Structure 1
């Protein structure tokens, strides 16, 4: 359906899980504390902290998606990544799945940067995970399957995002919207021009996110932080 080579086993999803586990292990080792791994130097350098992003460290919108606040946060996101990602990767293929995952991760980060609290640092893979959820919703529509269970899961997760403190609602919604749009371009592309439409969709979404980031950057102006990168101590949100 998406023009991908037929495969039965996911490859990218296990790699992403392994990378997240390895980065968590590094932060826990640096902090010397499994539960308070956010105290590590790598966490401070990679988390999405809007003032530091505004001062030029734009890559934090991507690197923050590989950080997690403690083992429970990590376990929940990796379980969701496995459950949601394995079938979507098989359907889309490796390259298209990577594009959807990366755009969803960036979409969550840009949403936080656009509308989030400047005093709050954000980390977690949930923006990308919600993007996979949005992609699966589109896939169910395209395949004309019964998606009741997925719709209930999505609704419950959105309610949790809105109602429980300490969860980045913006990161979730940003990832969800971008993931659904990306999957729509991939799965509803006309067969005759499938590849062109798919990658044009990826390119347009990337241009949109970059444009939104540049606009927000211009609105904020330049943040001047001390050499250690700390304008002030942020409070942390998990996504």
Structure 2
């Protein structure tokens, strides 16, 4: 009975989370800020490649082998290329949500800087932890950078991403790290379930570094809140037992 109630609660929270996400997407599109144009560019590039030449994806994807052979531009270009419809859809959701909130709080220029730097660090993390031929595409590393920046500067901001259940962004980041870091450390460094988790972690690192570089005092307070949240989450199973 208790498990059924929990299941129903999670379903209800998911519906609320999706509604909250779409509300923010609507507000982002209505505002027509920089982040909306980046999302639009991503969609246009995806549509063009899907229709004109799907093999262009591999040309602009990032890998260690491509960097070693002099294709340094892929450290930037990979962020604007997506593998399939689900990939571009989920990244557009995340970009419009985190990007809209970031741009509203801190402005367009800081948002773009955090986005690009986090994406580059995410890509660098991927190529350092994957085989030379492994390739990565997508904006998710850059988006996780925006998420990390908001985590440290606005830790109580409610987010439905990445679990589609509304919760403080500090809690969402802690839960994601708890789920992914063990996979990362287990030796499956580059990907898990066809998702480049090392790039996501690199994005979180990049966004965190940018938060301390651009907003040190708030980032330090946010880090304390994140650490307290992590301690509570990790201790909760033992307390409940």
TM-score, length-scaled by structure 1: 0.66
Matched, 1:70 2:84: yes
| Cα contact 1:135–1:182 (8 A) shared by 2 | yes
Aligned-pair CA distance for 1:50: 1.6
Distance 1:160 1:28, change over 3 A: farther
Distance 1:117 1:70 in 2: 22
Matched, 1:152 2:171: yes
| Cα contact 2:64–2:128 (8 A) shared by 1 | no
Alignment gaps of 5+ in structure 1 = 1-7, 32-39, 191-239
1:74-131 CA distances to partner (integer Å, 9 max, x unpaired)?
1001101111111111211111111111100101111112222212111111100110
Runs of 4+ residues over 3 Å off in structure 1: 145-148, 155-158, 160-164
Aligned-pair CA distance for 1:146: 6.4
Let me know the Cα RMSD of the aligned residues.
2.3
The equivalent residue for 2:115 is: 101
Which one has more relative contact order, counting CA pairs under 8 Å at least 6 apart? 1
Alignment gaps of 5+ in structure 2 = 1-29, 159-166, 185-191, 219-241
Matched, 1:46 2:60: yes
Q: How many residues matched?
A: 172
The equivalent residue for 2:213 is: 185
Distance 2:150 2:68 in 1: 33
Aligned-pair CA distance for 1:188: 2.9
1:12-23 residue pairs with structure 2 within 5 A?
Answer: 12-23=34-45
The structure with the largest helix share of the pair is 2
| Cα contact 1:10–1:89 (8 A) shared by 2 | no
| Cα contact 1:30–1:41 (8 A) shared by 2 | no
